Amino acid sequence: MHVAYPGMQLNIIPVTPFRQHCSILWNPETRRAIVVDPGGDVDTLLSFIDGHDLVVEAILITHGHLDHAGGVAALRRGLVERAAPPPVVIGPDERDAFLLDSIADQARHFGLEDLENASVDRFAQEGEVLEYAGCRLHVLHVPGHTPGHVAFVDKVGRFAFVGDVLFRGTVGRTDFAYGDGPLLIRSIKEKLLPLTREPGSADHHADITVVPGHGGLTTLDTEAAGNPFLRG
């Protein structure tokens, strides 16, 4: 799925049997790219990258679940095998390290054999700004679904890659041993929803498009107004 994105190109490719959204964001002038949450189906991702002649500068991970990070290792290997510069692998917050280290075990639980544990070059940190492919992505720590979940927000392009925190009309699961429902709602209300009150770019509305980990895209204004989990 191609998505209109100011100044950049964005394609969202569903991967794994969970149909998780892997986002490939790139600069049409330089062909430099960012991949967010490559959960699997790496051959499909590499075919897209090759077909568009992209150079991946960074692989970003919102959280440590298998469908979001299970393809990180294979994607990095595939890019290096193409004699491309190795991309930096960033995120999530270090509190998800235990999940990144157990992806293969998670996968076997679902009968999946081609997903691997993920290693990062460094963990993301709340408040930092990542600059790759001509894009500036602000890091927000938004725990609740997992302890180390982060979101990557482009405040100029008005897009937020939120993983499994917020969806159209609902929110992420918290029925894991490490989940925390009240914390998740607080994370959304305190970290994500206020973003629409910050000044937007000169030629774009202040609302922000939400790219969730699954399902349709939405906006922060839409969810603030109508999401039943965010009332009160």
Q: What is the pLDDT of residue 83?
A: 80
Helix 72-81 × helix 42-51 angle, to 10°: 40
> For each successive 10 residues of the chain (232 residues), what is the average pLDDT?
92 97 97 97 98 97 98 97 91 98 93 94 98 97 98 96 98 97 98 82 70 97 96 80
169: left (phi over 0), alpha (psi -120 to 50) or beta: left
Q: What is the pLDDT of residue 100?
A: 98
Q: What is the pLDDT of residue 201?
A: 47
Measured in residues, the chain has a length of 232
Q: What is the pLDDT of residue 205?
A: 54
Summarize pLDDT for 174-201 with one digit per residue, the tens: 999 999 999 999 999 999 999 987 755 4
Return d(Cα 230, Cα 225) in angstroms, integer: 8
Q: What is the pLDDT of residue 197?
A: 78
Q: What is the pLDDT of residue 45?
A: 98
Beta bridge pairs of residue 150: 141
Return d(Cα 149, Cα 169) in angstroms, integer: 20
Q: What is the pLDDT of residue 24?
A: 98
Residue with structure tokens 């499994």?
164
Where does residue 4 rank: exposed (0-12), middle (13-18), buried (19+ CB within 10 A)?
exposed
Kindly provide the residue ranges of all beta strands, DSSP E only, lying in 100-158, ordered along the sequence: 129-132, 135-141, 150-154
